[in-house]
Structure 1
Amino acid sequence: MHHLGIAEIRLCVMHYCMNWQSISFDWNHARAFLAVVETGSLSAAARVLNQTQPTLGRQISALEGELGATLFERAGRSLKVTQTGTDLAEHVRAMADAAGRVTLVASGQSQAIEGLVRISASELFAAHLLPSIISKLRIIAPKIVVDVVADNSVSDLIQREADIAVRNVRPEQPDLIARLVHESSGRFYASKSYLKKHARPRSYADLTAHEFVSFGNTEQMLGYFSQLGLDLESGHFKVGSANSLVAWEMVKQGLGIAPMSVDVARKTPEVEALLPQETPILFPTWLVTHRELHTSRRIRLVFDLLAEELPKLMA
């Protein structure tokens, strides 16, 4: 098993410090800001950081002054994060995650973090994107045991069958923490063999003359297509499977058309993108975990690594 050597540790620290030097605000102010964003209020953030609300409020005001930007809209005692604040939070969170991992690696603590972490993702996602991230995790924390649950359902989190889930829909359950890590572009795809037998569609209207492959929940897909202005019926779906690998294989074999993110489709030479002139479809990627599990060191480490590496793979 390969472990990080001192040279690699130095590179990690150097990379972090270079990023840090490009930031002009005080880290304590940034940490206060992030705590308010993640907890939703000054009082909750003050409890998390073990500080008083006035102190936290002064740190937020100082950060806004340093940046020359409004990060929160104040309405009485409530705070609503602005778009600028939302954008900044992603960068501050990435800095905090990177700093935490550098500290773990440099001190050797990550080598001591151990135990099972179950990651739930769709079959396609689990097959195409997770393996390379797990390889990095094996170097950083070799005592963590990873079990990938290839499943499209969110119930595995609710029933504690998984610790972290990768989903394309944000869950609404209040006990879950969700972080948007990427929005991929997507298009409709068909195999080259399918296009040899059927006229290539030139518009959304043309798609109504074609057959589609269902990825499990046909009614849900119809609702999504309707939002795109595509008027389809259940009769357009002649084949399908709740297993996304099987459904995508059906598309590859020429059994119909289906939407797919470019991250997966570009690894599939058998298919071609349709309607390149149309606005791409958006496929959001959410990382989800339980609130209480997010305090576990091993789960936090895996969660943060996924949050950092997934956007790189999907960029």
Structure 2
Amino acid sequence: MDWRTTKFDWNRARAFLVTVEEGSLSAAARQLGMAQPTLGRQVAALEEELGVALFERVGRGLTLTPSGLELVDHVRAMGEAASRMSLAASGKVQSIEGTVSISASEVDAAFRLPKILGQLREIAPGVDVEIVATNTESDLRRREADIAIRNYRPTQPNLVARKIRDIDGRIYATPCYLESIGNPVTPEEFGAADFIGFNRTGEFIAAMTRFGLALTQRNFPIVSESHLVQWSHVRQGLGIGIITADIGDAEPAVVQVLPELDPILVPVWLVAHREVHTSRRVWLVFDLLARELARPYTPRSSGPA
């Protein structure tokens, strides 16, 4: 069936979408503030209008049918488009006020967020932002943050998650440091080099083997769990470290090491609590982050001197 040419009632479509996100008719009814029988009738009416079954009942739960799976992405896109249209309406964005908390790694918080938040200040000056700069996972269900930028697929249930893109991870060093160790050109020649890592456990060493580097704990004279500390030490010539290529290539003090090797792919996911669909300010920030994180990183201009 071509959903694009099928006309249906948006209220019914919204009832379907919230039921999918909540996992049951009872939870969806509570979310929408209506009686469960009313919600059930709206979903049933949508099924009748489309001429397909959208759910299969498994015990007390609901499972999407193939037709339901096909429809849900279209309905979600409609909801997102409706939210953007509402926010773009005259005066609406300017009237949005309140605080949104964003959990992000130290690198994302320090490098990627400033330019995006500069745009947010222009389009929605009433929205305040709290940045939770952490390399550990914030629990969105406990409201440790409203939105999270993560470099791995989310596993927590009942969250809205969108994969933005993959970014190349590369290794970098200053030209002076490379000169001090004889300007090696093959992975084998880096066997005695100093690396700046997260720790001296096998996890980081295993990551380096993807570049063909056979390292041991002796290669890590300096370690720090802080990504910003690692990057600062690399930039100051204390050793070799890893960072995403968009940020590394924008730093004039360093050069790529072994650029001919395949990169490590670093996924970028944007995650929010499911109420992102009902909070205008959270949706505004989520939508802006999704759009801008999909674009190549460029440093924020400091303006005219």
Task: Determine if the TM-score, normalized by the shorter chain, exceeds 0.5.
Answer: yes
Q: Secondary structure at the match of 1:128?
A: helix
- The answer as to whether partners of 2:249 and 2:255 remain within 8 angstroms in 1 is no
Quote how far apart the aligned CAs of 1:263 are: 1.6
Structure 1 225/178 Cα, relative in aligned 2: closer, same or farther at 3 Å?
farther
Aligned letter for 1:144? V
Distance in 1 separating the partners of 2:206 and 2:45: 47
Provide the rounded CA distance (Å) in 1 between the counterparts of 2:208 and 2:144: 31
Q: Structure 1 CA distance, aligned partners of 2:20 and 2:175? A: 47
Per-residue deviation at 1:295? 3.7
1:38-57 map, 5 Å: none
| Cα contact 1:181–1:311 (8 A) shared by 2 | yes
Give 2:303's aligned residue: none
Q: 1:187 aligns with which of 133, 152, 170?
A: 170
Larger radius of gyration: 2
Look up the SS of the partner of 1:312 in the other structure: coil
Q: CA 1:253/1:47 → structure 2, altered by over 3 Å: closer, same or farther?
A: same
Q: 2:93 is matched with which residue: 86, 110, 113?
A: 110
Greater helix fraction, Structure 1 or Structure 2:
1
- Scaled by the length of structure 2, the TM-score of the pair is 0.70
1:10 corresponding residue in structure 2? none
- Count the aligned residue pairs: 281
Distance 1:95 1:132 in 2: 28
- 1:250 corresponds in structure 2 to 233
Distance in 1 separating the partners of 2:176 and 2:159: 43
Decide whether the 8 Å contact of 2:93 with 2:124 is kept in 1: yes
Q: What does 1:1-315 align with in structure 2 at a 5 Å threshold? A: 89=73, 96-155=79-138, 157=140, 160-198=143-181, 199-203=183-187, 205-215=188-198, 218-226=201-209, 230-292=213-275, 295-314=278-297
Separation of aligned partners in 1, 2:213 and 2:13? 45
- The C-alpha deviation readout for 1:259-311, integer Å capped at 9, x for no partner, is 21112112201111122222222111111223346643221221122111110
TM value normalised by structure 1: 0.68
SS in 1 for 2:94: helix
C-alpha distance 202-230 of structure 1, shift in aligned 2 (>3 A): closer
In 2, are the aligned partners of 1:184 and 1:314 still within 8 Å (CA)?
Answer: no
Instruction: Determine if contact 1:43/1:53 at 8 Å carries over to the other structure.
Output: no
State how far apart, in whole Å, the 2-side matches of 1:131 and 1:236 are.
34
**Contact residue 41 and residue 79 of structure 1 kept, 8 A:** no
Structure 2: runs of 5+ lacking an equivalent:
299-305
Distance 1:165 1:305, change over 3 A: same
Shift of 1:247: 1.0
Root-mean-square deviation (Å) = 4.2
Specify the code of the residue in structure 1 equivalent to 2:294.
Answer: P
Q: What does residue 12 of structure 1 align with?
A: none
